[in-house]
Amino acid sequence: MRFLTVAALAVLSLSGAADAQAQTYPSRPLSFVVPLPPGGTADVVTRVIAEHMARKLGQPVVVENKPGASTMLGTAQVARSAPDGYTLIFATDAIAVNAVLGKDVPYDGARDLEGVSRLATLPLVVVAQPYERYESLRAALQAARANPGKLNVATVGLGTPHYIALEWLKKSAGLDVVHVPYQGTAPLVTALLAGETELAVVTLAGVQAHAEARKLRVLATTGAERAGAIPTVAEETGIADFAITSWFGVALRVGTPAAIVQRLNTEVTDALAQPLVQERLRGAGLQVAPSTAQAMTALLRDEIEKYRRIVALTGISRP
């Protein structure tokens, strides 16, 4: 009985401490870690969000770029931080991919992190060059089956959602194509326009201008829903559960007091509702997609399990 009383008092003490912490939050600057180099889309998006959050929170929100090890260095810093709401991570689908394909990952993405809010999604698409070559993904797949081992398909590299989407499509549609990896979207698009590869899995933002100029044809999106008039891979192939979409969000150390997480969610989603912020994100090719903290946490965990299933199905090995 005495043990139960002591335990109950301990729980109440911890709860009281968390409540007091939440009431005075934030009392010092926040760190917003970007696990990618400065100057890219992630960096731009984070700085726009951080600027708005700082005004609302009354404290500086310092953006800290910490690239390296496929985003694992920066993510590890946040996964090991105190659960107090002062260290945030610009979270991407790399957390899910690394959980399945990463080597010596120094944290558990499903257990060490929890969500604040999703920020945006970035549709991936299958594109063809030249524009006139294939009228649909079905036509491209028919050509691939008629010419096994002869069609080149580009992605931005091994261990990326683009590559995993390609391998899933190859396995499910029974394709024999040659994967050609490039180090980033810009060199991939350059090679595609030069005719070095016939097909590619790439972000819609990376090819939209060329598609509008009828230099490339967008055949399908890998997402669960159409991107405007662009059909999904699932619709074109009959692979019912085919869905891969890149996403960005905000996360922090698991165990952060719920009131602090909710405060951060309020400020992040408020930032995403601002016309100027939406304009900046859409200008980067992103689809603004705020969420609850609970939904972001579920996304982190569900994506890890999804990639685990795909890797088991396709037999993809660690890069």
Of 2-16, 108-122, 216-230, least confident by mean pLDDT is 2-16
Geometric angle at alpha carbon 123, from 173 and 236, rounded to 5°: 30
pLDDT higher than 80, residue 71 = yes
Give the dihedral sign, CA 124/129/130/136.
negative
Where does the chain have alpha helices with state H? 2-23, 41-57, 72-79, 94-101, 137-146, 161-173, 185-193, 204-212, 233-237, 258-272, 275-283, 293-314
Candidates 266, 290, 267; CA nearest to 278 is 290
Q: Which residues, including other chains, have CB under 8 Å from residue 149's CB and lie 6 or more apart? A: 176, 177, 178
SS3 16: helix
Same fold across 28-122+246-314 and 124-237: yes
Domain boundaries, the chain: 28-122+246-314, 124-237
pLDDT tens digit sequence for 201-211: 999 999 999 99
Where does 27-149 have alpha helices with state H? 41-57, 72-79, 94-101, 137-146
Tokens, residue 109: 């993405």
Residue whose pair of structure tokens reads 């859409």 in the numeric block: 282
Q: Which CATH class is domain 124-237?
A: alpha beta
Mean pLDDT for the stretch of residues 97-105: 94
Pair type for strands 152-155 and 124-128? unpaired
Q: What is the mean pLDDT of the chain?
A: 92
At 68, the amino acid letter reads G
Q: What is the fold of 28-122+246-314?
A: D-Maltodextrin-Binding Protein; domain 2 (3.40.190)
Residue 283: the pLDDT is: 87
- DSSP secondary structure string, 235-277? HHH--TT----EEEEEEEETT--HHHHHHHHHHHHHHHTSHHH
In eight-state DSSP terms, residue 290 is -
Of 15-19, 31-35, 251-255, 315-319, least confident by mean pLDDT is 15-19
SS3 84: coil
Candidates 84, 80, 82, 63; CA nearest to 72 is 80
Whether 137 contacts 126, CB under 8 Å:
yes
Tokens, residue 136: 């649909």
Residue 237: the pLDDT is: 94
Residue 290, preceding peptide bond in cis (omega within 30° of 0): no
Q: Which residue has the higher pLDDT, 19 or 190?
A: 190
pLDDT tens digit sequence for 1-42: 555 565 555 555 555 555 666 788 999 999 999 999 998 889
Whether 302 contacts 245, CB under 8 Å:
no
